[in-house]
């Protein structure tokens, strides 16, 4: 019998050698933690479909921000959940809007915490779409207007930057949003503020729990006329290419788990940093299965996060950020 001379297992003999040959690492600095802020007082309500994730009123933010900071996390992304909605999403670009107020407050609590602003209208519109809805004359059909929506998104981004946001993250999937927002920011003196574009954003059922959290489900129709078809990969390259030409600084792929191939492809094709959004249902599925005792939450979540890194993500937006920070800390001692 011939014995193998090449043995892959030699480099798996013990933890120390496995650590030496480890190709990818999840670092606490790679993680971006999403926070939902809401109007009202004394609110810290857990989102039923996202265990461990809360709605915070502004008066509850300080404790949370301090905890995040103490865990070593350096970046958050803010989602505003306003009380008042209308058909043009006025609260999205109001300087006194909930996201703007929260941004100012976070910057007061910890000026070094990097605040990303999600630039979209769907939480702020009564119809729940990411742009302006134009009804046909008979009122039966509706289109989401591209170019008129851009003007509102630009206003939103400028007011977010004015409030102190460090990164503008437009998630609306209107055509030309990077060009429009870039020139709006530049004209307003925010040429130094980067744009992290939700470049390749699919029309996905994995956003379900987020829409519960953000009260942002479309009230009619779906988002398929602006978000991408999950069946398409090459179109993702075109989406990303547009955003690169338009001046995006970071390219995001969303969702993450079912789209690792897209993360990989973008990393191979573009030299901008790549972000992965580990979206709400990816989080909730793991939480639910762990609650049932079917899986090991920490092991599965960390495997997923390192999977994003291996696929090519430089940074990961994840509801697991706080958990991961704790796990990473515990493992390093
Ligand atoms: C806003 C937005 C959405 C998410 C982030 N920004 C929802 C959507 O497009 O419907 C989803 C994030 C998640 O599921 O965690 N457009």
Q: Whose CA is nearest to atom 7 of ligand 1?
A: 207
Asked if the structure places residue 7 within a domain, the reply is: no
Asked if the structure places residue 32 within a domain, the reply is: yes
User: Which CATH number characterizes residue 28's domain?
Assistant: 3.20.20.70
Length of the chain: 333
Ligand 1 centroid to residue 92 C-alpha, Å: 15
Q: Whose CA is nearest to atom 14 of ligand 1?
A: 207
Asked if the structure places residue 80 within a domain, the reply is: yes
Ligand 1 centroid to residue 25 C-alpha, Å: 26
Residue 283: which domain range? 23-332
> Is 246 touching ligand 1 by the criterion CB < 6 Å?
no
Asked if the structure places residue 308 within a domain, the reply is: yes
Do the beta carbons of residue 36 and residue 271 sit within 8 Å?
Answer: no
Q: How many domains does the chain have?
A: 1
Asked if the structure places residue 180 within a domain, the reply is: yes
Give 37's strand partners. Answer: 56, 80
Q: Does the structure show a pLDDT above 80 at 317?
A: yes
Model pTM score: 0.96
Q: What is the predicted ipTM?
A: 0.95
What is the model's pLDDT at position 2? 92
Asked if the structure places residue 285 within a domain, the reply is: yes
Query: Averaged over 306-316, what is the pLDDT?
Result: 98
Q: Give the pLDDT confidence of 76-105 residue by residue, as tens digits.
A: 999 999 999 989 999 999 999 999 999 999
Query: Averaged over 304-321, what is the pLDDT?
Result: 98
Q: Give the pLDDT confidence of 130-180 residue by residue, as tens digits.
A: 888 888 777 777 888 889 999 999 999 999 999 999 999 999 998 899 999
Q: How far apart are CA 102 and CA 253, in angstroms?
A: 26
Asked if the structure places residue 9 within a domain, the reply is: no
pLDDT band for 333, please (50, 70, 90 cuts). Answer: low
Asked if the structure places residue 322 within a domain, the reply is: yes
Range list of β-strands (E), the chain: 31-38, 44-47, 50-57, 75-81, 114-119, 132-135, 142-145, 167-170, 196-201, 250-254, 274-278, 315-318
């Amino acid at each position: 019998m011939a014995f193998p001379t090449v043995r892959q297992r030699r480099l798996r003999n013990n933890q120390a050698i496995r650590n030496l040959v480890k190709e990818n690492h999840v670092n606490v600095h790679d993680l971006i933690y999403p926070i939902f802020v809401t109007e009202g007082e004394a609110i810290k309500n857990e989102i039923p479909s996202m265990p461990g994730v809360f709605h915070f009123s502004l008066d509850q933010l300080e404790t949370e921000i301090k905890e995040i900071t103490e865990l070593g996390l350096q970046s958050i992304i803010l989602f505003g959940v306003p009380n008042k909605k209308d058909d043009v999403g006025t609260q999205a670009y109001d300087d006194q809007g909930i996201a703007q107020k929260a941004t100012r407050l976070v910057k007061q609590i910890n000026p070094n915490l990097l605040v990303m602003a999600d630039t979209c209208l769907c939480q702020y519109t009564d119809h729940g779409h990411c742009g302006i809805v134009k009804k046909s004359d008979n009122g039966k059909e509706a289109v989401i207007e591209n170019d008129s929506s851009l003007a509102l998104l630009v206003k939103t981004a400028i007011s977010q930057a004015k409030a102190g946001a460090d990164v503008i993250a437009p998630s609306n999937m209107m055509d030309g949003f990077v060009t429009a927002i870039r020139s709006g920011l530049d004209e307003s003196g925010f040429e130094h503020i980067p744009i992290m574009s939700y470049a390749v954003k699919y029309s996905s059922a994995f956003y379900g729990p987020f829409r519960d959290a953000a009260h942002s489900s479309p009230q009619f129709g779906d988002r398929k006329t602006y978000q991408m078809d999950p069946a398409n990969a090459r179109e993702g390259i075109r989406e990303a290419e547009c955003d690169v030409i338009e001046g995006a600084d970071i390219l995001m792929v969303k969702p993450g788990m079912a789209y690792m191939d897209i993360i990989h492809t973008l990393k191979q094709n573009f030299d901008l940093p790549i972000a992965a959004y580990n979206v709400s249902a990816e989080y909730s599925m793991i939480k639910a299965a762990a609650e049932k005792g079917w899986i090991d939450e920490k092991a599965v979540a960390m495997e997923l996060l390192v999977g994003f890194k291996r696929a090519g993500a430089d940074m990961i937006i994840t509801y697991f950020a706080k958990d991961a920070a704790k796990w990473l800390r515990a493992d390093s001692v």
